[in-house]
Structure 1
């Protein structure tokens, strides 16, 4: 019988692939950079172009803003784990 302690979560990377984690992190960095660039372009174009002031494009802008926010919040921690190793302190959930 195993015991799971749901109050702590430790991010350690990908087990078994420690020797290539720098390159895995680099690919995540490139994907995140492309996503940030594309969503930022959308967030600049939609308010600037009058013909795009329709509900569908406003919803697209909200999705782009959400994607930018999540990428800015999650990517630095993920890249720090891949490039510099796991943090010695666990992430507390409670």
Structure 2
């Protein structure tokens, strides 16, 4: 299943900015370090972050792209079951320089 998510906020700038749209696939074979994912976090609700680490049980350590993002220590390890999908494509609202 494919879904479209609108980016809200600047925590993933410069890669993704407020107003961009991302296409998200629920059908991904394997997540790897560096992939962008949309997760339903228990505290922060639906967020887009980059996979920084994956532990032995499949939980993810996620990070933003800049200092305005929620820090990984605040989010903690995110269970794989919370992943809504992997970002596979971005439509930018403002052309990047």
TM-score between the two structures when normalised by the length of structure 1: 0.22
Structure holding more helix per residue? 1
Structure holding more strand per residue? 2
Work out which of the two has the higher radius of gyration on C-alpha atoms and give 1 or 2. Answer: 1
TM-score between the two structures when normalised by the length of structure 2: 0.22
